[in-house]
Amino acid sequence: MQKKLPLQCPSCQSNLKVKKLHCSSCGTEVDGLFDFPLLVSFSQEEQEFILNFVKTSGSLKEMAKIMDLSYPSVRNYVDDIIGKIKQLEKNKKQ
Partner 1 sequence: MGSDTQRSLFRPFDRISEFRALGVGLSAMLLCGALNCLCHVRFDGAVDVHLSPEPVSAVCLLAEGFIGWLVFAALLFMSGKIFSSSSIRFIDVLGNLALSRWPLIFVSLAALVIPHQEVTRYLMGKYVPELPHATLSAPGMAQFIAFALLTIIILTSTVWMIILMYRGFSLACNLKGTKGMLVFGITLLVAEVISKYLISVLAGSWE
Residues 69, 81, 85, 88: which binds partner 1 (CB under 8 A)?
Answer: 69
Selected range binding partner 1 among 21-29, 31-39, 64-72, 86-94, rule: CB under 8 A: 64-72
Contacts of residue 74, defined as CB under 8 A and 6 or more positions apart, other chains included, come to 60, 63, 64, 67
Residues 73, 86, 87, 89: which binds partner 1 (CB under 8 A)?
Answer: 73
Q: How many CA atoms lie within 13 A of 19 on its CB side?
A: 2
Q: CA triplet 77, 17, 89: central angle to 5 degrees?
A: 40
Q: CA triplet 34, 13, 93: central angle to 5 degrees?
A: 50
Selected range binding partner 1 among 13-21, 26-34, 74-82, 86-94, rule: CB under 8 A: 74-82
Q: Which is nearer to partner 1, 29 or 45 (CB)?
A: 45
In the complex, the residues that contact partner 1 under the rule CB under 8 A are: 68-73, 75-76, 79
